[in-house]
Structures are given as C-alpha cells and as structure tokens.
Amino acid sequence: MAKSFSFSLSLCFLTVLLFAMAMAAPPRKPIDVPFQKNYVPTWATDHIKNINGGNEIQLYLDKYTGTGFQSRGSYLFGHFSMQMKLVPGDSAGTVTAFYVSINFSPMLSSQKSEHDEIDFEFLGNRSGHPYILQTNVFTGGKGDREQRIYLWFDPTREYHAYSVLWNMFLIAFFVDDVPIRVFKNSSRDLGVRFPFNQPMKIYSSLWNADDWATRGGLEKTDWSKAPFVASYRSFHIDGCESSADAGFCATRGLRWWDQKDFQDLDGIQYRRLAWVRKEHTIYNYCADRSRYPAVPPECGRDRDF
C-alpha cells in the first residue's frame, strides 16, 4: 500500500511538473524553418553556405573576412530562436553572435545614440577550455551589462536552441528552454530604460575579435586553423512585422508572447535560473563593485540579478 501511495504521489508530482513546464514554454515548439523565409545575408555572401535546401546554413570566417545575416523584417516584441552549432576545436579570437538590434554593424556598434540591443555572444576558446556565453542588454544607448556563463554542454558537437523572449514586461534569454537571464522592465519604478518603442531586426554573425574575445585578447586567432565554421538551423520568428503594412504577423494569430503566462518567469524557471547563477555564472556586472561601486538599480531581486 505504501509503495502504491508513493507511486501515486510521484505520478501526481510529475503531472503537475509537466503542466507547469508546458505553461511556461511557448505554446508550440519552434519547427524547422528554412533560412530564406525569415533571413537574408548581410555581408560577405560568399562566406555563407546553404545546406539541405536552406534548412541549414554555415557561416565561414577566414583571415580575409567573416560574414553575417539579418531578418527580412523588423519586429517590436516577440520570440526569436535558432539552433546553432558553434565553431569546433581551437576557436580562440572568434565570436559567434546572435542578437536583436535596431541597427547593424559588423563590429556590433551603432551609429544611433538611442541604441537598443539584446545580445548572445559566444566567445571562442583554446582547445580543451569551455565555451563562454556572454549576454548583454543595451537600452537607450547604454550597455555595459555583461553577464558570462560556462555552458553545461559542448556547444560544438550538436545543435542547441538559443532564444529571446521580448515583451513589454521583460527580456528573457533561454538556452534549450533553460532561462539564463531575465531583464525586467523597470522604467516606471526604477527609471531604467527599456526597449519598447523601436522595432528591431534579428542578426547573426561570425567575426574575428581577438583583441578582446578570449582571455581579454591574450589568446589570438590561429589562422592556420581557418576557415572557422558555425552552423545554423530552425530560423524561427514569432513576432509581428513593424512596417508600413504592420498587419503582418509571423504567427498569423494570437500574440502569445504578450499574454499573462509570459509576463514573468514561473517558479520552475526561477529555480533553473538560480541553478545557472550558482553553478555556471563566471561574471555578472551586478556584482562587479570595481565597475559599479553602487549596485545598478536593475540588479535587485528577481530582476537582472
């Protein structure tokens, strides 16, 4: 009887857990979307290789140039994801970036003073060392909000999903549905700028940044290992285009990312985020007293902590 009761409790707990996870996740899993549907090359087109009818692409970096691509449309809020397989082997000096921005530059800078940007940056490494994922958030022209983690898997062996959920309430970064960062809209209560009125495009690029990317620029790119290759697939966008005919919505339906269930992380997601913070975070600007003697206002509990 005790064993049966224990099994029933376990089954009940599992059911509740699965239900909670389903509520926290997007209403439908991103499906494989061909590159050409949502994206176009931005520069050095000859360094982009289409595979399997455009369902996969590869970006190439050599000593002459890197390359990149951007979304066809601009979006004000949504859920943006793609699966990536990072540069294998000795990738020191290279940066693979996936970001949402109002303005494009191969060096990830902007000519606009009111610059908004949401960054995933994967910093290359010397062979045998873990990949570093750096995230950053620019609002109203201000950045310097870097956080860095070690990924808990080898991102060069298989595809993994990286996504951004952006709405009026928060910006959340996910790796395989695990939240690694949340930046909340604190504009009203704390006066911290939040990107809410400038449509942005989605970009990705592979480029050389050996002046800072690996150990602060101490490890330089070994061009004998070139070309460096990053692979992509599942170029998914759930968002509404902000254009002259702003009626087009990539989901062709409900703006699910604005609904109540997605205005904050749930309990399970916060526990996962706490696990990332405890076990995998190696730098958080919120805790850097040399740069910020006073704790930035957005770094409070359940914010960009």
Q: Which residues are catalytic?
A: 117, 121
Instruction: Give residue for tokens 């990317």.
Output: 213
Question: Residue 253 burial (CB < 10 Å; 0-12/13-18/19+)?
Answer: exposed
Structure tokens at 62: 């050599």
CA distance 233 to 298: 34
CA distance 91 to 231: 14
